[in-house]
Amino acid sequence: MSLNNEIEYSRKKRYPFFPLILFLTTYLLVQLYHYDIKLFGLTISLALSLLGIWYFVRATNINSRYQTTTMMNVDAMTDQEFHQLLISLFRRQGYSVNSINTNEQNCADLIAIKNGTKAVVYAKRQQAIIDKQVIQDALLTKKTRQATQVIVVTNNPFSHAAKKLAQANKVNLIDRDSLDALLDAYFRQKRSYRFIERARAFFIRQETEN
């Protein structure tokens, strides 16, 4: 059984009475149309309004669960997986990104360049709050790598001292909430791109068949 057939079978198994409900709903709407066209119009308007409210609530709940799941996946990543994810994120933002292969501790993980501006990227995926020592290490690497910007990305919050030091030295901080927002925009864009590609393939196939 193909994947599409499995999906269709699971839907039928999950909603076994859907065809019957659809038939009865259509029959009642036709009868209502012939009985009173104004009442028919009000019924359709009310049904569409309720459907829109249901869809909005459902989409909001799914998006909330999706964001939580995404960050849980980030928490469970290895450092290498986290770095690869950040490379994709920064490239999506228009950066040219290279990974720094070094065994040195307290060293930047990525070099990101955009419009001639070079930035060192610190990727800190850990369970503890990020303190100001990370910011100090990032600033030292900025000098050794001759970069003009510093970006620190983490899956956790920054301490007050870290934020204060970063603000004083113009270090860009991406904490858990900011990373969550970036991931959400990234995956939304990927889903939109896949949809466009599928639609384009569909129309090309239709033109070929015709």
- Give me the long-range contacts of 185-191 (CB less than 8 A, separation at least 24): 186/88, 186/89, 186/92, 187/66, 187/70, 189/92
The per-residue pLDDT for 202 is 44
Tell which wins on pLDDT, 123 or 71.
123
**From 76-80, 145-149, 160-164, 173-177, the region with the lowest mean pLDDT:** 76-80
* Predicted TM-score of the model (pTM): 0.57
Name the CATH architecture for the domain at 79-185. Answer: 3-Layer(aba) Sandwich (3.40)
Mean pLDDT of the chain: 76
207 pLDDT above the threshold of 60: no
| Helix (H/G/I), strand (E/B), else coil: 94 | coil
**So where are the chain's domains?**
3-74, 79-185
- Cross-strand partners of 174: 153
Looking at the DSSP bridge assignments, the partners of residue 123 are 153
Task: Report d(CA 139, CA 57) in Å as an integer.
Answer: 45
Residue-wise pLDDT for 93-140, tens only, equals 889 998 887 655 556 689 999 999 999 999 888 888 999 999 999 999
Q: What is the pLDDT of residue 88?
A: 87
SS3 breakdown of the chain: % helix, strand, coil, rounded to 5? 65, 15, 20
B/e letters for 154-170, b = 16+ CB within 10 Å, e = fewer, are bbbebbeebbebbeeee
Q: Residue 52's pLDDT is what?
A: 79
pLDDT at 104: 58
